[in-house]
């Protein structure tokens, strides 16, 4: 008998406040393994707060987060082991080589040097930078650095990959390449990806989408479903309609 596989990421009743300012309010969702989910929201919607909570940079104030069934607050070691993260700010050591950056990350996960080198070759192959291991990170382009960060996040073979606005500052071609890389990883390596962005054109028809606005979850589902629910022609219009509704509710409540 095979047990039912838990959700890749499940978030229940999550609220978070910075002093009086509420960044997340009662957010609940679950994403299934081997899916590509776009977390869509304007700046300040609460995307980074959500990521900081999932990666345990902040402790949860209310609600709970599970990664493949492991509670992030109670069992952080097992939860974080299954998690790979690409942060919004660049986090590579510019003075070190690509290989040294990857080895350091592997060590942080308890992976020894020999094993780490083999894995580094593999992940660099995936992202098409197999010949750049010896190069200084400083000498790479912005797009290449981002791809290295994805390779690094995959080094310890996580099952869930979080990407916080990974295309910020990239040109159109690099952006498209990044999306291709990650979608391919989901399709071929069965990784689960949660991709946060404020750029609606990064959403594809086959993706799942979560719409976050002013700390509230407004919609979650396959893109065609979310679009149909709003009677909108496309995801662009659906997103506008969703955040318009909130604005209306707010003004009604105020009068």
Question: Using CB under 8 A as the criterion, which residues of the chain lie in contact with other proteins when the complex forms?
Answer: 5-6, 8, 18-19, 21, 23, 33-34, 44, 46, 48-49, 52, 55-60, 68, 70, 73, 75-83, 85, 87-91, 93, 95-96, 100, 103-112, 159, 189-190, 192
Q: What is the side-by-side order of every strand in the sheet holding 83-86?
A: 83-86, 160-164, 192-197, 36-40, 208-213, 216-222
CB of 241 to other proteins, least distance (A): 24
Tell the smallest beta-carbon distance from residue 242 to other proteins (Å): 20
Please give the span between the terminal C-alpha atoms of the chain, in angstroms, as a whole number.
Answer: 58
Beta carbon nearer to other proteins, 34 or 237: 34
Q: Which is nearer to other proteins, 124 or 158 (CB)?
A: 158
Question: Considering beta carbons, is residue 112 or 125 the nearer one to other proteins?
Answer: 112
CA angle, 198 then 204 then 210, to 5°: 50
How far apart CA 193 and CA 35 sit, in angstroms, is: 6
- HSE at residue 41, side-chain half, CA atoms within 13 A, is 27
The nearest distance, CB 34 to other proteins, in angstroms, is 4
d(C-alpha 136, C-alpha 58), whole Å: 32
Nearer CB in complex with other proteins: 149/230: 149
Min dist. Cβ of residue 230 to other proteins (A): 26
Q: Is the dihedral of CA 143, 80, 34, 11 positive or negative?
A: negative
Helix (H) or strand (E) run with residue 134 in it: none
Least CB distance to other proteins at residue 77 (A): 5
Q: Which is nearer to other proteins, 7 or 230 (CB)?
A: 7
């Amino acid at each position: 008998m095979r047990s039912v596989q838990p959700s890749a990421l499940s978030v229940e009743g999550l609220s978070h406040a910075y002093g009086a300012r509420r960044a997340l309010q009662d957010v609940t969702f679950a994403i299934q393994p081997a899916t590509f989910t776009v977390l869509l929201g304007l700046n300040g919607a609460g995307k980074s707060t959500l990521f900081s909570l999932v990666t345990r940079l902040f402790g949860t104030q209310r609600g709970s987060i599970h990664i493949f069934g492991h509670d992030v607050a109670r069992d952080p070691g097992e939860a974080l082991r299954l998690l790979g993260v690409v942060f919004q700010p660049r986090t590579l050591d510019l003075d070190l080589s690509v290989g040294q950056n990857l080895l350091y990350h592997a060590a942080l996960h308890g992976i020894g040097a020999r094993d780490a080198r083999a894995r580094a070759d593999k992940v660099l192959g995936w992202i098409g930078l197999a010949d750049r291991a010896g190069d200084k990170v400083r000498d790479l382009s912005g797009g290449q650095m981002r791809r290295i960060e994805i390779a690094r996040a995959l080094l310890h073979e996580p099952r869930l990959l979080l990407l916080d606005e990974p295309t910020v500052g990239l040109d159109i071609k690099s952006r498209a390449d990044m999306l291709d890389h990650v979608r391919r990883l989901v399709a071929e390596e069965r990784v689960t990806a949660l991709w946060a962005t404020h750029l609606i054109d990064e959403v594809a028809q086959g993706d799942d989408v979560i719409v976050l606005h002013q700390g509230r979850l407004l919609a979650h589902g396959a893109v065609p479903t979310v679009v149909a629910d709003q009677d909108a022609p496309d995801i662009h219009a659906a997103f506008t309609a969703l955040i318009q509704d909130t604005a209306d509710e707010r003004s009604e409540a105020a009068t």
